Amino acid sequence: MPSEMESDHLDWPVARDHALVLYVDTLCRALSTTPSRLMPDELLLSEVDFASEDFHHLQGVSICSLRSRFSFLKSLNSDVERLLLPVTDLRASDCYKLSTACLLREARGLLFYHTKVAFLNHVLNQTAHRGAEDTPPEVSLDPLEALEGNFIAHDL
């Protein structure tokens, strides 16, 4: 059985992952839960789901393979949310094409909606917990720096 699942995942296209993430996000909204609380055996795709344009990439895939891939994506999202997002400077995603931030941006279709919202809430909470002596967060826009970053990125 594990070798069968392994062979199923060898040629797994990214578009299928995106469709599975979208399906899980839709299912979680309908069940008012999060992907971390959703169990793989709760994935029950109907013929109507397979016929949907959003989920047509999931056609022809066994439910066992979909559940296995969901388990992988669930683990990936958990690790990214706990270990990677809190220590990654996402500002570098446009300037440095080999940065962790750029890789995360390119892999955003593999992240559940809940993972993205949890990170946003974490950032907002961090900015809300500053004391009176702390300076407020600032956003600075330097158009020359942005242009320079674009030129550097195109040269790579």
59-94 pLDDT, tens digit each: 988 899 999 999 999 999 999 999 999 888 888 788
Judge whether residue 128 has pLDDT over 80.
Answer: no
Of 103, 101, 30, 42, which Cα lies nearest the Cα of 67? 42
20 touches 66 (CB < 8 A): yes
What pLDDT, on the 0 to 100 scale, is given for residue 124? 80
What pLDDT, on the 0 to 100 scale, is given for residue 51? 83
The domain locations on the chain are 2-128+142-155
Place of tokens 């900015």: 127
What pLDDT, on the 0 to 100 scale, is given for residue 75? 97
What is the rounded average pLDDT of the residues 30-46? 93
pLDDT digit string, tens, across residues 97-116: 888 999 999 999 999 999 99
Global pTM?
A: 0.77
